[in-house]
Amino acid sequence: MAERPAGGHGEGLRWAAEPGFWREVFDHLGAGLAVVDSTGRIAAVNPAAEELLGRTAAAMLGRNFHDLLHRGAHGATPPGVQCPLLTALSQGTAAHAETDGFTRGDGRLVPVTWSGAPVIKDGRVVGMTVLFADITASQAARADRAAHVLALENRTGRLTLVAEITSVLTQPLHTEEALSRLGRLLVPRLADWAAVDLRIESGQVRRVAVTGPEGRDFDQEAWQGPLPPPAEHSRSPLVRVLHSGESAVLGRQEITAPPDSSLAAVQAGFLQAMGAVSAVVVPLGTARQITGALTLARTDPARPFDTTELALARDIGRHVGLAIDNARVFGRQREIAEAMQRNLLAPPPQPGPLRLSARYQPAPAGSQVGGDWYDAFLLRDGATALVIGDVVGHDLTAAAGMAQLHGTLRSLAWDRTGPPSAIIDRLDEAIPSITDVPMATAILARVEGPENGPWRLRWTNAGHPPPLLVTRDGRAEYLDQGRGLLLGTGLGSDGRPDATEPLPPGSTLLLYTDGLIEVPGTDLDTGLERLRRHAAALAHHPLEDFCDQILNRKPASNTDDIALLALRIPQPTSRR
């Protein structure tokens, strides 16, 4: 939140960035201020509270606020069930009392007025702030204290609003979905109507979100969509914001002024159709990097916007603009990472009668792309190599590391004819020299056997989820053998283990990454059992359909990307 500069100077704009500012507010507030936790125990008091109550902070911290301080008109502690502050704390609501009594350290009763507001973190009430003042002071002193309390409540409310907006904008959402949620935070707490306009890459402007009072959204879509270009000559507040970042507070006269450009006409039509009598228009981003504009409108003549609220709107606009810029950068990185993965993850070969199928599914929009990959290729000795892997991390660096490991492992497997464990050991030794990848998991497997079978699987597992073997008759079993350390630990190895398993006719081998089995809120065993059950039910399905159904049956709450590689062993009488 940015402060309106006083006397034409810009120092006030930086007050919120100073780490000691709120400590100063707390220490020098003219009214008593106590912070209690969710159980009602005192977590902090300011010097004014110590002075008013005749008690030191050390004597109050950790004590129950109600039991220690709260007294009725006759000096007796009222029952907790009758305490409006405890009731408000349990319900997560605000409370106040015009006249009440707190007891000083010397036993004297102090008549007070107090106001309590819940402290909310991540949607949960974690405590309450209690502001209180001595009501026996003079009328002027009471008015002054009330003004301090009101100012603090207003400032606290604004900080809370900015914090909630920041929380929404940092969630993994589509930009337009995030802006829609932003509108619901601004309306009706700060405005009756809100509109967000974004600059798009072609230089045009698009109104991407319009939010109004509940029950009055029937005409919002008519105001969304492309806007006329912001003409250089126009003095419209919206045009000035888009060109120079110049914020403005508009009264009825400015709202009804004749428009001087096409964009000004659209904006005037919008404000007048909404019945606006006061509005603010602020840039999204900074004056050097203007992403768009935020328009807030009020319809009540008794509540015009003032310069303090303009400063708040400007700070909100700055947060929104930075979040949008970050989302766009992330989106470009995501597109690069996805393109890199899709180009590297080529369709698998079809070696002889064996059938291979693979899938790569990026994380849902808004989540970060990871480093999942698969590979399948023929080796010099006629065996078929199968690879599945996952680089630790979820960003463009992870995707680049995946590409490096993908190429290196393929080269090592082609060059060496030893067991899979020896090749993985060699890859592990090379990781510090060829990539910045911190750690990764992988399975390298060989499918061995004559053209007409029988076939067997030989593999090693470097910290990856186990392969799943599904027989033709619907039995599904995880192959837990061959486990060793994941790649990149730097712990060395005395030789990774290899394992072998016959591959029965008609069976299906499934290699996959952890996005297929890890679901927020559940344990890994639950995900493994879900996959085993689904794969068993799909044992008779054609291989392509088997892979599609495995992906379709994953939980909707999955937030990770997924790679899978499936091998189908032919029946003796069928080469499907």
Q: Which of 34, 100, 106 is nearest to 71 (CA)?
A: 100
Three-class SS of residue 118? strand
Q: Taking a C-beta distance cutoff of 8 angstroms, is the pair 112, 134 a contact?
A: yes
Decide: 292 and 199 in contact? Cβ < 8 Å.
yes
Q: Count the alpha carbons within 13 Å of 82 in the hemisphere toward its beta carbon.
A: 8
Q: In angstroms, what is the C-alpha Rg of the chain?
A: 33
Q: Is 482 left (phi over 0), alpha (psi -120 to 50) or beta?
A: left
The pLDDT of residue 347 is 77
pLDDT tens figures, 272-290: 999 999 999 999 887 677 8
**In the prediction, which pLDDT does 407 show?**
85
Q: What does the pLDDT read at residue 544? A: 95
Q: Which long-range contacts (C-beta less than 8 Å, at least 24 apart) are formed by 493-498?
A: 493/425, 493/428, 495/421, 495/425, 496/421, 496/424, 496/425, 496/460, 496/462, 497/421, 497/460, 498/419, 498/420, 498/421, 498/458, 498/459, 498/460
pTM of the complete model: 0.50
> With contact defined as beta carbons under 8 Å apart, do 358 and 564 qualify?
yes
- Residue 140 CB contacts under 8 Å (≥ 6 apart), including other chains: none
The residue type of 382 is G
End-to-end CA distance of the chain: 65
Distance CA 317, CA 329 (A): 18
> pLDDT tens digits, residue range 123-167?
888 999 999 988 876 455 555 655 555 555 555 556 566 666 666
Alpha-carbon distance of 541 to 544, in angstroms, equals: 8
281-318: buried (b, 16+ CB within 10 Å) or exposed (e) per residue?
A: bbbbbeeeebbbbbbbbbbeeeeebeeebbbbbbbbbb
Tens-digit pLDDT profile for residues 101-124: 899 999 888 888 889 999 888 888
What does the pLDDT average to over 231-259? 89
Half-sphere exposure of 174 (CA within 13 A, CB side): 7
Q: How far apart are CA 455 and CA 225, in angstroms?
A: 60
Closest CA relative to residue 42, chosen from 19, 70, 72, 23:
70
